């Protein structure tokens, strides 16, 4: 069984986001981690390999520091790593990233593709399902249980107010939800082995992408305007209500 796991390196949940002079996120001095939902995907891929045999390839996109995330996944038990690292990645959206990822995955034998349900930095929850669309294969999101038999999988996924059971044939994409498993910690032996496992680095040019091939370009980031403190209106209820109506009409201009 050939398993591909897509992971993303994200900011620590407690990191303070700062923009530099050019309007880009400044990652200097910020702790970067594997997106927590992607850890469930890594663990599930390794468990499937241990049970059914095969190989796990971890794919990521990002700067040079993203190698740390890939090496951690290799230390957990994945077999190979692929990193797409290119300055052009900073300025594209989920559609562009899914197209890039589809180009990478197309060259890797794959029965199952796993990814986290959502990334904690942008909360987009789009790349995995867009990838499935680009590859013309089925996808199942928010999976909390995955059972494999032959060339088919039975996935239990979370839905509003309950769960849903879906059967799909391979190849297919699955996104991992909290509760799917308990991710393991890399062992000392695993960390040492990870240093010798293959990690292939690719650029957009290597994948055949030119400057004008991506539909959307992000020019600048900006932080939201800080919220102003509320105002308390004192006095008797009738007087306070009158003052509130006046403020809503004259200052807020919503009446």
| 197 within some domain | yes
Q: Quick one: tokens of 58?
A: 């971890």
Domain match, 148 and 74 both:
yes
Domain match, 129 and 70 both:
yes
| 211 within some domain | no
pTM above 0.75, yes or no: yes
The domain spanning residue 40 has which CATH number? Answer: 3.40.50.620
Place of tokens 């001095």: 29
| 17 within some domain | yes
| 192 within some domain | yes
Domain match, 229 and 169 both:
no
Coil, helix or strand for 220?
Answer: coil
Domain match, 146 and 21 both:
yes
Domain match, 245 and 166 both:
no
Domain match, 241 and 166 both:
no
Domain match, 186 and 233 both:
no
Asked, as a colleague might, if the bond just before 192 is cis with ω within 30 of 0, I would say no
Element (H, E) at 81: strand 80-84
| 216 within some domain | no
Domain match, 119 and 173 both:
yes
Domain match, 84 and 192 both:
yes
Which pairing describes strands 32-34 and 55-61: parallel, antiparallel, or unpaired? unpaired
Q: Spell out the long-range contacts of 63-70 with Cβ–Cβ below 8 A and sequence spacing 24 or more.
A: 63/27, 65/9, 65/27, 65/32, 66/9, 67/199, 68/9, 68/32, 69/7, 69/8, 69/9, 69/32, 69/33, 69/34, 70/7, 70/199
If one counts the domains in the chain, the total is 2
Alpha-carbon gap, residue 12 to 20, rounded angstroms: 18
Domain match, 190 and 233 both:
no
| 64 within some domain | yes
Which pairing describes strands 9-11 and 32-34: parallel, antiparallel, or unpaired? antiparallel
Residues 6+ apart with CB under 8 A from 57: 2, 3, 4, 5, 78, 79, 80, 81, 82, 108
| 215 within some domain | no
| 14 within some domain | yes
Closest C-alpha among 93, 80, 83 to residue 63 = 83
Distances from the Cα of 37 to the Cαs of 6, 51, 229, 233, in angstroms?
11, 22, 35, 45
Domain match, 167 and 68 both:
yes
Domain match, 33 and 122 both:
yes
Residue 49: give the domain boundaries: 2-202
Strand partners, 140: 174
Task: List the chain pLDDT tens, one digit each, 255 residues.
Answer: 999 999 999 888 777 777 777 667 777 777 889 999 999 999 999 999 999 999 999 999 988 889 999 999 999 999 999 999 988 787 788 888 899 999 999 999 999 999 999 998 888 889 999 999 999 999 999 999 999 999 999 999 999 889 999 999 999 999 999 999 999 999 999 999 999 999 999 999 999 887 677 777 777 777 778 888 888 888 899 999 999 999 899 888 887
Alpha-carbon gap, residue 190 to 186, rounded angstroms: 6
Q: Quick one: tokens of 111?
A: 């029965």
Single out the residue in 187, 202, 217 at which a domain terminates. Answer: 202
């Amino acid at each position: 069984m050939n398993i591909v796991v897509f992971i993303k390196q994200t900011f620590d949940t407690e990191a303070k986001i700062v923009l530099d002079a050019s309007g880009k996120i400044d990652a200097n001095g910020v702790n970067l981690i594997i997106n927590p939902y992607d850890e469930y995907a890594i663990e599930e891929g390794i468990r499937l390999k241990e049970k059914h045999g095969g190989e796990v390839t971890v794919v990521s996109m990002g700067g040079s520091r993203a190698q740390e995330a890939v090496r951690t996944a290799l230390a957990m038990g994945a077999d190979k790593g692929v990193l797409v690292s290119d300055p052009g990645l900073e300025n594209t959206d989920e559609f562009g990233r899914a197209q890039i990822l589809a180009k990478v995955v197309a060259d890797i034998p794959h029965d199952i593709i796993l990814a986290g349900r959502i990334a904690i930095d942008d909360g987009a929850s789009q790349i995995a399902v867009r990838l499935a669309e680009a590859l013309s294969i089925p996808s199942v999101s928010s999976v909390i249980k995955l059972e494999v038999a032959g060339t088919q999988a039975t996935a239990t996924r979370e839905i509003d107010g309950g769960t849903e059971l879906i059967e799909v044939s391979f190849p297919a994409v699955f996104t991992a939800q909290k509760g799917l498993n308990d991710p393991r910690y890399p062992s000392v032996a695993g960390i040492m082995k990870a240093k010798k496992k293959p990690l292939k680095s690719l650029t957009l040019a290597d994948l055949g992408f030119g400057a004008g091939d991506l539909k959307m370009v992000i020019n600048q980031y900006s932080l939201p305007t800080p919220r102003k403190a509320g105002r308390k209106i004192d006095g008797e209820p009738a007087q306070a209500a009158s003052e509130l109506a006046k403020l809503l009409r004259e200052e807020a201009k919503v009446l």
